[in-house]
Amino acid sequence: MSNDFEPKIAAFLCTWCSYAAADLAGSSRIQYPPNIRVVRVPCTGRMDPFLLIKAFNMGADGILVSGCHPGDCHYLDGNLYARRKFVMLNELMQFAGVKKERLNFTWCSASEGKRFADVVNKAVKRVKSVGPWQGFDGKGFQSKEGELISEEL
Amino acid sequence: MAKKPVMVLGGGIAGVQAATDLAEMGIPVYLIEKSPALGGKMAQLDKTFPTNDCSTCILAPKISDCYNHELVTTYTYTELENLKGISGNFTATIKQKPRYVDVDLCTGCAECIENCPVKVDDGFNQGIDIRKAVFKYQEQAVPNVVTIDAKHCLMINKGVCGLCLKNCDKDAINYDQKPKTEDLEVASVIFAAGYDAFEGNIVSEYGYLNYDNVITSLEYERYLSASGPTGGHVVRPSDGKDAKKIAFLHCAGSRDIRSDTNYCSSVCCMYSIKQSIITKEHIKDANLDLYYMDIRSFGKGFERYYNMADDTEGINFKRNRIASIEDDEDNRILIKSLDDDDNIISDQYDLVILAVGLKPSKEVSEMMKRLKIRVNKFGFADVEELNPLKTSRDGVYACGVITGPKDIPESVIQASGAAVMAGEKAYQNEIDDSELEIVNNKEKKEYRFVENERVKTGVFVCDCGTNIAGVVDVPSVTERAKELPFVEHAEEVKYLCSSDGQELISKRIEEKGLNRIVVASCTPRTHEPLFRKAVERAGLNPYLMIMTNIRDQDSWVHREEKEKATEKAFDLIKGAAAKAKSVKTLNREKIEKIDNAFVIGGGVSGMTSALQIAELGFKTYLIEKEKILGGKANQLLLSMDGKPVKNYLDDLKQKVESNPNLTVYTDHSIESIEGYVGNYKFKLKSNQNDETTELEGGVVIVATGAKELITDQYLADQNKNVISQLDLEEKLKENKLDQSIKDITMIQCVGSREEGREYCSRLCCTQAVNNAIFIKERYPDLNIRILYREIRTYGLYEDKYRKARELGVDFIRYEVEDKPKVTENGNKISVQYTEPITKKHIKTDTDLLVLAKAITAQDSNQTLSKALKVPLNEDKFFLEAHVKLRPVDFATDGVFLTGLAHGPKNLGESVAQSRAAASRAAAVLSKEFLLTEAMVSTVNSNLCSACGTCEDVCAFKAIEVNYDKQTAEVNTVLCKGCGNCVSVCRSHAVELEGFTNQQIVDELSALFSDRKSNNQKVGGIINE
Amino acid sequence: MKNYDQITEEIRKIAKKILNDKTVDKVIGFGLGTINQEITPLFISKAEGAKKLVFNKNSHMSLAKYLLNYKNEDVAIVAKPCDSRAINTYLSEKIINRNDIKVIGIQGCPGIEGNTACLECEVRNAVISDYDVGEKISKKKTNQLKEEKDFDSLSPEERFKYFRNEFERCTRCYACREACYVCYCKECFTESNQPEWLNKSVSLNENFTYHLMRAMHMAGRCVNCGACELACPEGIDVRALAAKMYNTATEIFDYKVGMDQKQKTLLAEYDVHDSEKGFME
């Protein structure tokens, strides 16, 4: 694969901790790669695993999900319910052959701006290491103009 | 008529809590903070004990709720100059220091900071880091504006430089700003002025000034913080190398008769334990020694936390006395200490942390004196123990550390308590609406009906000066946005948040008939309320506005990758526009409620809460299962500071019984409880004649108390000369102490702090010491020995401990593995124990054995917890919503908690907490109606199979299955909008407004619309 | 362990008795169809009919799902161990009432021919039963996880390829869904258009997505009975993903679905110290 592959990662952040951490990385001007597309959710407890499967269905090269650290949930325990769902989904996706590097689950507190940047760096590196996501059919995705943007490995 | 405002002094957690509570009671508040931003000491903390909660995570939402509350006016960088007048009619003179920045213009973009050439020590980071002369008090500062430090600014001092102004797009810098003085008319005042940590050199022998690697605990807190100067790396200040071996010296300056801070600071043991646990999380192989006198883990959940640390390898508790501290040429610190047997032990450390205590700031003490508020010998506000929130000046209240050392939950409790007392003054002193600048905007808003309109989206892209436009190609993004589906209009704006920018949005909505708005600018966490209001002003429902963050999460973090940042910005706008297409008009519903309060439990806690609520004018029902009011306090002789309880109790009972708003149901039990916040129905049954009474109310306060442990340890209940501390108080009260008694032994921790009851009963040490003093003062020749594990006379009770020692009370420590042995010996009790220093076994006969029996939860807690749908902790005490910041609330709205039902605490603490519970309850009762959140869950009953999974996961009891209708139903009053129920619903019958599956899928599909699957038809093909 | 004929006899005896004494109005069991003597669900309401009930090596289908058609009626049901767990799941999901049903529980189930799931079965005895038939055997693990171990030796690429080959044949007839006892949503996510979880086109990307979503949908609810696999007309390995979820629940969360009627579902509870397997760092 070519080195200039720029993955696009769907990043689901809970509004109270991880989204705040991303904001803090911003106000601290900590630079990280521009490969994530943030979807803000109130709580990781809101994350239906279907949404994560759907992200791959629609062509995301990887996913990143980050919530409050266990114990810090603004809604008391939403992240603890979420954690189980993520472990189950992660196992399922890897079993089905989706590379683990595409599946990134973590926690970032509102004061961890630096950590958030580190997390993004790491996630981008991981996804880059496994190349473009070819879809569940392995046929790659087309850009709007019909041009094949990635070829099967 | 409006309520007269209240002034809250101090913008730390206590001040913020008090201000928010007052505002929630409908009272306007002036919140005065002397530093440039809200947050106080808590904002400087990394984690909090005993849950290791991230301090910022839990504090920041509270601050922003307070700051954005329409009834709170915040004055930062402001100090109180004078307070004239009397309770109900104060004139407070405040002085706003010049920050040389126009707060209304500054966007907090920090361009000025980057360009400022002057570097100075950063006070927020305890001087570990540097900041500029123009600075933001902290990264997440509220208000999010910069301040110029006049002492160091070149322009202000020398008239040269001006770089900050040059680099400010908004011309927000003003070097000519002058101090501003203002008079505020207020009904009452709350002092929540916090504290200063001790200076590092408070104990000069510890070498803080001489050795780089000796630092204070507050400095260390900044090292641990992920947003601190080292990003959470624990290093030696001398050379920046990793620190592995660390010593914590407890009581650095506290409990030290040589200093003028000779009290226990109450929090240092716990924060040192916390710091040691967090350090171990950072550095797995760290070796940590904690040097202590007594571990005072007396709060709720603290003992377990202490045990957890004690069980951690590499965290060592050493009850050694420090002999000397020196450093070597490598800057390692050598500590010599004496162990129990007076052996000298030497150890070397990379880092030594001084657990410095809390003291009132000198200026605040001086100010209080000047304003005729009495302070005690340490400089804390002098308050009465059983009226702990009221200062000596009428109408002036105090909360938090200003009344004595305490931790965060207790400060929060006091803050809520002080709020209701100060609020009562505001209720009694209503003023004409026109006198008030803060107008409570109550007129009902009519929104345009857009549901039958074609979707017409307006996209507004903010340049934020050069903050966004300097990186993102805003013109091109705006152009491309025009081509997106449903987008009617797209426009670039230099500053959307300016009043011009907001007006522009309103204008375009009217001009172009826009019915969905996308704002691409900064973070919705701070600016969503602002843009919602802008949209609202144009008659559009505020929830039709979607924000996307192309500054904090794009231009600021991809400065060198302009093209990619531009692409990302466009994607984000695409996503937001797609989401906007499927958003709906949302409303906050008004729910009728009943303005009565239930208080369960007629002890001091229950009576205090009930009376407070009744005094505010709400009808209150006080329910007590016994025939008389008073609970455990009926048995008490002395309060913790040694005052007779009886007078206080009689007075309280009399007030309760004569208050016209208060109905007392003694000798009644609760048959059933139904309903939820605003609409509770109680059925009571008289224990006398089984007659039932049905009552309605809006809130419930649980004040059911606790009970003394029933045990057979140490011959309890088997020998008449073995009694409990409570029994002893009854005897002393009635002067029934047998004259023949010449020798008394007290055993502490009977049933507390051991397996099965892993908590400290908190008040027994002080109670024992008090009773000992009482006896010694009357019978000086009587022998008293106290067998203890650790003396926990926390806070200012340390004085009592010293006094008891001076009076000749013997204090003898025992270990839990080697408890005293007690046998009968004729008329006497024979007590055998191990002398801690000589290790000799001593056997002595005593006339009276007094046991400090553990405080245990009521058996009835189980039933009540089920009926009210609120949880218990592992010790069967009621479990509050959040141990740190919501100490009197339950997760279930409308139910509050106080007194011993919450956990062991003394009478004064119960009184404070009961005021707090009343305060939180009053916030519900004082509203005209209850307002639901707009973004709540909804159930599509056509899809629901009534499996109840949603009910299982809802922490707020806001969703329940209605088995008659075979569908789940959301109680929108209780729903907090987390969406937990949505994601567990396998039938997708539950949706969360504002974050529906449709909206998120639409957003995703737009974000990845440049990728299209080939979608070749397959199926039924056998490959081989 | 008793054989099929012995178990059949016991089922008939019990059915006759409880229909006779009106304990129940109906017995749901297995019978033989008119064509080719194929196994078929049988609903008996008269005691005389009890003799038509059978239990043989082909009694594969999960009868539990029929309970949903007889809500609030007094019915008895013949339940293999897997079916008994399905019944418990229904009870915990409050879809049926315990008082309404009687379970004729097969103890020491001899298994179903051709059902690979039976090879992995570690229960073997009905976990809820009012009338035991057969005889209990120890919960000896049979060839448990045999299938999965094979997968473990494959690389992610190989597994990906394997599933693509499988799901390429899928026509999305949803026979797997219909056969599954946990599939009783009023509207299946496959049919939802708000949002459109699945594109209606039968393409590999969508097929694969469907099977992943189905597995996730059943995570912590699937009892690994194998009904879906037996139902697939294309012979696709449709059970593998769900079985993976089943085994993961056991291995990581020590969770076994359907063992108790009061059990909460896997994803509706948590432990503060739950595993974070596969999380970053």
CB contact under 8 A, B978 and A74: yes
**CATH code reported for the domain at B597-705+858-925:** 3.50.50.60
- Bigger pLDDT: B820 vs B445: B820
Residue pLDDT, tens place only, B115-155: 999 999 888 888 788 899 999 998 888 999 999 999 999 99
List of chain B residues whose C-beta atoms are within 8 Å of the C-beta of residue C269: 952
Fold of the domain spanning C4-134: Rossmann fold (3.40.50)
Point out the residue among A50, A80, A119 whose CB comes nearest to the CB of C272.
A80
Q: Can you tell me the mean pLDDT for B379-395?
A: 96
How does residue A111 score in pLDDT terms, banded at 50, 70 and 90? Answer: confident
Residue pLDDT, tens place only, B300-354: 999 999 999 999 999 999 999 999 999 998 999 999 999 888 899 999 999 999 9
User: Residue B394: is it exposed, middle or buried by C-beta count within 10 angstroms (0-12/13-18/19+)?
Assistant: exposed
**Contact status, residue A44 vs residue A19, Cβ threshold 8 Å:** no
**Contact status, residue C29 vs residue C12, Cβ threshold 8 Å:** no
For all residues of chain B together, what is the average pLDDT?
A: 93
- Please report the pLDDT score of residue C145 as a whole number: 45
Residues of B (945-984) whose Cβ lies below 8 Å from C: 945-949, 952-953, 961, 963, 984
SS3 B455: coil
Task: Note whether B1007 contacts A: Cβ–Cβ < 8 A.
Answer: yes
List of chain A residues whose C-beta atoms are within 8 Å of the C-beta of residue C216: 49-50, 53, 88-89, 92
List of chain B residues whose C-beta atoms are within 8 Å of the C-beta of residue C193: none
**Contact status, residue B357 vs residue B157, Cβ threshold 8 Å:** no
Residue pLDDT, tens place only, B543-595: 999 999 999 999 999 999 999 999 999 999 999 999 999 999 999 989 899 99
User: Residue B594: is it exposed, middle or buried by C-beta count within 10 angstroms (0-12/13-18/19+)?
Assistant: middle
- Please report the pLDDT score of residue B638 as a whole number: 85
CB contact under 8 A, B1015 and C185: no
Report the top-level CATH class of B98-178.
alpha beta
> How many Cα atoms within 13 Å fall on the side-chain side of residue C279?
19
Residue pLDDT, tens place only, B150-197: 999 999 999 999 999 999 989 999 999 999 999 999 999 999 999 999
Task: Provide Rg for chain C, Cα atoms.
Answer: 19
Residue pLDDT, tens place only, B441-499: 444 568 999 989 999 999 999 998 888 999 999 999 999 999 999 999 999 998 898 88
Residues of C (142-171) whose Cβ lies below 8 Å from B: 165, 168-171
Smallest CA–CA separation between C139 and chain A, in Å? 26
Residues of C (85-144) whose Cβ lies below 8 Å from B: 93-95
- Please report the pLDDT score of residue B573 as a whole number: 98
| Residues 6 or more apart in contact with residue C278 via CB below 8 angstroms | A86, A87, A90, A91, A94, A100, A103, A105
How does residue B679 score in pLDDT terms, banded at 50, 70 and 90? Answer: very high
Lowest-confidence segment of A7-11, B57-61, B795-799, C16-20 by average pLDDT: B57-61
- Please report the pLDDT score of residue B1024 as a whole number: 37
**Contact status, residue C148 vs residue C188, Cβ threshold 8 Å:** no
Residue A57 scores a pLDDT above 70: yes
List of chain B residues whose C-beta atoms are within 8 Å of the C-beta of residue C264: 952
**d(C-alpha C205, C-alpha C172), whole Å:** 12
SS3 B373: coil
Q: φ and ψ at C100, to 5 degrees?
A: -80, -15
Q: Which of A4, A18, A27, A28 to mutate to test the interface with B (most CBs of B within 10 A)?
A: A27
Lowest-confidence segment of B55-69, B348-362, B660-674 by average pLDDT: B55-69
- Please report the pLDDT score of residue B2 as a whole number: 86
Residues of B (983-1002) whose Cβ lies below 8 Å from C: 984, 986-989, 997-998, 1000-1002
- Please report the pLDDT score of residue B301 as a whole number: 94
Report the top-level CATH class of B196-359.
alpha beta
Lowest-confidence segment of B218-232, B967-981, C80-94 by average pLDDT: B218-232
Residue A150 scores a pLDDT above 50: no
Q: Which of B552, B935, B1017 to mutate to test the interface with A (most CBs of A within 10 A)?
A: B552
Residue B388 scores a pLDDT above 90: yes
For chain B, which residues make up each domain, given as ranges? 1-96+179-195+360-444, 98-178, 196-359, 457-581, 597-705+858-925, 708-856, 936-992
Point out the residue among C94, C202, C206 whose CB comes nearest to the CB of B947.
C94
CB contact under 8 A, B1018 and C195: no
CB contact under 8 A, C94 and B953: no
- Please report the pLDDT score of residue B302 as a whole number: 96
- Please report the pLDDT score of residue A147 as a whole number: 52
Residue A144 scores a pLDDT above 60: no
SS3 B629: coil
- Encode chain C in three state secondary structure: CCCHHHHHHHHHHHHHHHHHCCCCCEEEEEEECCCCCCEEEEEECCHHHHHHCECCCCCCCCHHHHHHHHCCCCEEEEECHHHHHHHHHHHHCCCCCHHHEEEEEEECCCCCCCCHHHHHCCCCECCCCCEEEECCCCCCCCCCCHHHHHHHCCCHHHHHHHHHHHHHCCCCCCHHHHHCCCCCCCCCCCCCCCCCCCCCCCEHHHHHHHHHHHHHHCCCCCCCCCHHHHHCCCCCCCHHHHHHHHHHHHHHHCCCCCCCCCCCCHHHCCCCCCCCCCCCC
Smallest CA–CA separation between A28 and chain C, in Å? 23
List of chain B residues whose C-beta atoms are within 8 Å of the C-beta of residue A111: 46, 54-57, 140, 225-227
Is domain B457-581 given the CATH code 3.40.50 in the classification? yes
- Please report the pLDDT score of residue B1020 as a whole number: 60
CB contact under 8 A, B1023 and C169: yes
**CATH code reported for the domain at B936-992:** 3.30.70.20
ipTM: 0.95
User: In chain C, which stretches have pLDDT less than 70?
Assistant: 139-149
CB contact under 8 A, B942 and C93: no
Domain B1-96+179-195+360-444: homologous superfamily in CATH: FAD/NAD(P)-binding domain (3.50.50.60)
For chain C, which residues make up each domain, given as ranges? 4-134, 146-268
Residue pLDDT, tens place only, B681-727: 999 999 999 899 999 999 999 999 999 999 999 999 999 999 999 99
Pairing outcome for strands B1012-1013 and B967-970: unpaired
Cα torsion for B707, B711, B713, B716, to the nearest 10°? 80
Task: Note whether C265 contacts B: Cβ–Cβ < 8 A.
Answer: yes
How does residue B437 score in pLDDT terms, banded at 50, 70 and 90? Answer: low
**d(C-alpha B485, C-alpha B503), whole Å:** 25
CB contact under 8 A, A97 and C158: yes
- Bigger pLDDT: A143 vs B876: B876
Domains of chain A: 9-129 (3.40.50)
List of chain C residues whose C-beta atoms are within 8 Å of the C-beta of residue A97: 156-164
- Please report the pLDDT score of residue B225 as a whole number: 87
Task: Note whether B231 contacts A: Cβ–Cβ < 8 A.
Answer: yes
Point out the residue among B552, B561, B997 whose CB comes nearest to the CB of A22.
B552
Task: Note whether C68 contacts B: Cβ–Cβ < 8 A.
Answer: no
- The yes-or-no answer to whether B1-96+179-195+360-444 and B196-359 have a common fold is yes
Report the top-level CATH class of B708-856.
alpha beta
**d(C-alpha A65, C-alpha A53), whole Å:** 13
Which helix (DSSP H) or strand (DSSP E) does residue B682 occupy? strand B679-686
